[in-house]
Structure 1
């Protein structure tokens, strides 16, 4: 159950992270943000990123082996990276219609999944 909680929290955390890092690129399309300067955009992104940390820290604490969780530190990091890229692909395809998902991206994604497989292989 701890592994499921960890993965859910990491996924939610990465949704906020992706929104904080890349969501502001779509602000220019929104009326309310036309007059915002860079400092305002940074502060908004920090506010969004706060929720990433609120979810990321417990995910790592719950999932880490030395805290009674199922994952080593390296396994947590690899899982997090795969989740980050998965969330990013979905985000970019939904919010940035000019981005395309190509065959070489698919190959890279498969290789990342293989990295997870080998990370857990004993």
Structure 2
């Protein structure tokens, strides 16, 4: 299977989209001295850029992937981006339970893409 624009672009765009999404949803957890309404408005502003990448990623990706594959890809990317964000930005620790849970999700993704059924 050749690396075409329709196969590669959605992956890169979903990574970018998920970086914006993660900051929109969780970046404010380090900001405690602002009113909630302002946090919501800023989060919506950040989420706009998430949509600007996610929607075309799925449109382009539909040429090479099924909707189930696109959704699975998005979930795995979301968890990967969040794991890095959680450690680097929020200062959280990843535990064995996190690694095992992610491993099970990755196995599920493998079934979606290359399952025996």
TM-score by length of 1: 0.86
Aligned length: 111
Which residue, out of 94, 100, 111, partners 1:101? 94
Aligned partner of 1:23 in structure 2 is 27
Question: Equivalents in 2 of 1:6, 1:49: separation in Å?
Answer: 18
Alignment of structure 1 residues 72-111 onto 2, 5 Å: 72-97=66-91, 99-111=92-104
Q: Unaligned 5+ residue runs, structure 1?
A: 29-33
Tell me, in whole angstroms, the C-alpha distance in 2 between the residues paired with 1:96 and 1:71.
Answer: 33
Segments of 4+ moved more than 6 angstroms = none
- TM-score for both structures, normalised by structure 2: 0.90
Shift of 1:27: 2.0
**Following superposition of structure 1 onto structure 2, how do residues 1-122 of structure 1 map, counting pairs within 5 Å?**
1=4, 2-28=6-32, 34=33, 36-64=34-62, 69-97=63-91, 99-121=92-114
Q: Secondary structure at the match of 1:40?
A: helix
Aligned CA RMSD, in angstroms, stands at 1.1
